[in-house]
Amino acid sequence: MFIEIDNSPRDYAWGSIHAIADLRGVAPTGGPQAELWLGAHPGSPSRIINPSHTGGAVTLAEWIAADPRTAVGERQKLPFLLKVLAAETPLSIQVHPSREQARSGFARENAEGIPLDAPHRNYRDDSHKPELIYCVSESFHALWGIRDISHTLSVLRGFIDAGQAARLSTDAIEWLAGHLDAHQGDVRDALALLLEPQSVPAQNLVAQLVAVAHTVSPGSSLARDANTVLLLGSTYPGDPGIGVALLMNRVELARGDVLFVPHGVLHAYLSGLGMEIMASSDNVLRGGLTTKHIDVPELLRIGVFEPGNPVLLPGNSVAHGVTRFSPDVPEFELVHVCVEGDLPGLELETQGPAIVFCVRGDARIQGRLESARVSRGRAFFVTPDERSLRIDGNAELFFALTGH
């Protein structure tokens, strides 16, 4: 079966006014549109366009609960969540839990009687949340993980030199550099000091970083880090997460690049439009750059803060126009499909339920039992019994599939 689905974009303040509307080919609402959820997560389950096809169920979550064998096969739930994400301004610095951490955290907060929709709740379900994002815009900017400490120390010393040359105070920046150097790069300890600042140097750090960043010339080796400080400082003035950002890798994706975020990795999306797929979870531990609930001790407990390079996930070109992005997780993989009208149709095998979203053109998808015509901005849920799909037309599509 091909079940057409839709949803209302989430109106988080960091969202873009135009990006999601333009991608879907509809008029913008005038307010921010941050995320379009395509899936069955209870936080925002997709609507079913024609409930007569699903026994009257009006959301994908409702239908799966009522008829799981038809909807998802042997599974009891849809294991992935597909999102269109449009960041006009930076998102929070955050980490996601492992499967074991999510299960124990969810059970603990249930036992404590914390409502699922409580603003201070950390664990809203019992699933881990690995995720990847495919850059749809010309570029996509993010912070990912902890960078090499020697690089961070070099940047901090550069800020100190630039500040002293401009006759600015740099004692707080010197304090952070000295702490990292003396503690052999103990990032967890540094994060605790930065995110829960008790000392005067920690409290003064952000103001000094912003002041020095304003003096850095565009051609300087410090320009990229100064840009990060100024971007975050203009959006979240005085936020301690601005200091944390200098401990992290700055990543710039080009269109078609894919960034994978495993559990425990500190990250923040800064700007851009992307297709994001993840395990079906909404578990987020935030540490800064947000007005939402922050739980620094829990973030420090579950995070993985070993320095490392960002994981840019290579695609596997399985056929002309078909590229699979398969992280080492069982819940999902993302397939990018470009079909051209003057070429033979493409074929795609599925191993379970799927969701397809069209971002350009239109195409006909023929399954084992039924078919559907998709066009720009439309999405369909595909049941497992369709199995082998043939795609004809002239279109660009994204398929969310279960992992192998």
* Distance between CA atoms of residues 121 and 106, nearest Å: 9
* Distance between CA atoms of residues 277 and 260, nearest Å: 10
* Distance between CA atoms of residues 45 and 65, nearest Å: 12
Give the SS3 label for residue 228. Answer: helix
Q: Would you call 147 a catalytic residue per the annotation? A: no
- Closest Cα to residue 280, out of 120, 121, 83, 90? 83
β-partners of residue 252 are 141
The distance of Cα 266 from the centroid of its chain, to the nearest Å, equals 11
- Closest Cα to residue 60, out of 11, 126, 124, 4? 4
Is the CB of residue 109 less than 8 Å from the CB of residue 122?
yes
Is the CB of residue 355 less than 8 Å from the CB of residue 37?
no
Is the CB of residue 246 less than 8 Å from the CB of residue 224?
no
Give the SS3 label for residue 95. Answer: strand
Q: Which residues contact 27 (CB under 8 A, 6 or more apart)?
A: 21
Q: Which residues contact 389 (CB under 8 A, 6 or more apart)?
A: 347, 348, 349, 350, 354, 365, 366, 367, 382
Give the SS3 label for residue 277. Answer: strand
Q: Where are the beta strands (DSSP E) in 304-383?
A: 311-312, 316-319, 322-325, 333-339, 346-349, 354-366, 371-375, 379-382
* Distance between CA atoms of residues 135 and 254, nearest Å: 6
Q: Are strands 316-319 and 322-325 parallel, antiparallel or unpaired?
A: antiparallel
Q: Where are the beta strands (DSSP E) in 88-184?
A: 93-95, 131-135, 139-146
Q: Which of 121, 286, 324, 378 is catalytic?
A: 286
* Distance between CA atoms of residues 239 and 44, nearest Å: 29
CA angle 354, 395, 369 (to 5 degrees): 40
Catalytic residue set: 286
